[in-house]
Amino acid sequence: MKYCLLLVISLLSAVSSSAQGTIKLTMDWNPESARYEVFAISPVTQKNFAFGKAQIAVVVPKSAPDTRLNVVSHTGGSWKDEKFITDPASSSGRDFHAVTSGGGLVNFTANQKLLLFSFTFADSQCREGVRIFNNGADPGSSAQGFNGIDFSNSILGGGNVQIYHSNTSNSGTACMDCPVDFTVPKLKKQS
């Protein structure tokens, strides 16, 4: 029995270490659903991956309502807007939200976006520039106005191994929900 347990622990460690520091995050505005969507991307296909405790921070413009985000969980556990601060002195004009999950099993397909959670604001409006927190670039917990709250992104795999790597396409969302399409009329040549 002891050997069986050691084998299971070794297997979980091997699976989680294969994803160590490889998960990237991205966010999109979905105009059809009128919601923001947060995705994880793995470079490898992994079935029944142990997606552990996670925190993904969202940075929004000050114009957003000063309330919690309306979060809907899709995969990776039950997601909720656990803590937020509004307009901190060291990053005025922005609000910060920490969306957290206790984790769950997920199925990654190599280089494909996996929807973790979606959210809307209390007023259901789209706002330009909503993005994921940039670890190391956005203010840390000791910055003025952050009151010791850490908004760093973190995703743990099995065995409490950090599997979060970075963000992709993270300059901020755009709200334009209809592409501009110009049709130029044909002109008749006059004689």
Domain ranges (residues) in the chain: 18-167
User: Mean pLDDT over residues 89-96, rounded?
Assistant: 93
* Three-state DSSP state, 90: helix
* Three-state DSSP state, 3: helix
Identify the band that residue 177 occupies on the pLDDT scale cut at 50, 70 and 90: low
β-bridge pairing 94-101 and 104-108: unpaired
Short-list 64, 177, 52, CA closest to 122: 64
Can you tell me the distance from the alpha carbon of 173 to that of 177, in angstroms, rounded to the nearest whole number?
A: 11
Can you tell me the distance from the alpha carbon of 174 to that of 153, in angstroms, rounded to the nearest whole number?
A: 22
182: left (phi over 0), alpha (psi -120 to 50) or beta: beta
Can you tell me the distance from the alpha carbon of 42 to that of 22, in angstroms, rounded to the nearest whole number?
A: 6
Short-list 152, 170, 135, 155, CA closest to 53: 155
CATH code for the domain defined by 18-167: 2.60.40
Identify the band that residue 169 occupies on the pLDDT scale cut at 50, 70 and 90: confident
- Number of Cβ within a 10 Å radius of residue 97: 24
Identify the band that residue 137 occupies on the pLDDT scale cut at 50, 70 and 90: very high
pLDDT in tens, 6-31: 333 444 444 444 455 699 999 999 99
Q: Which amino acid is at 99?
A: V
163, 17 Cβ separation under 8 angstroms: no
Residue 4: pLDDT over 80: no
pLDDT in tens, 53-75: 999 999 999 999 999 999 999 99
**Residue whose structure tokens are 């334009």:** 176
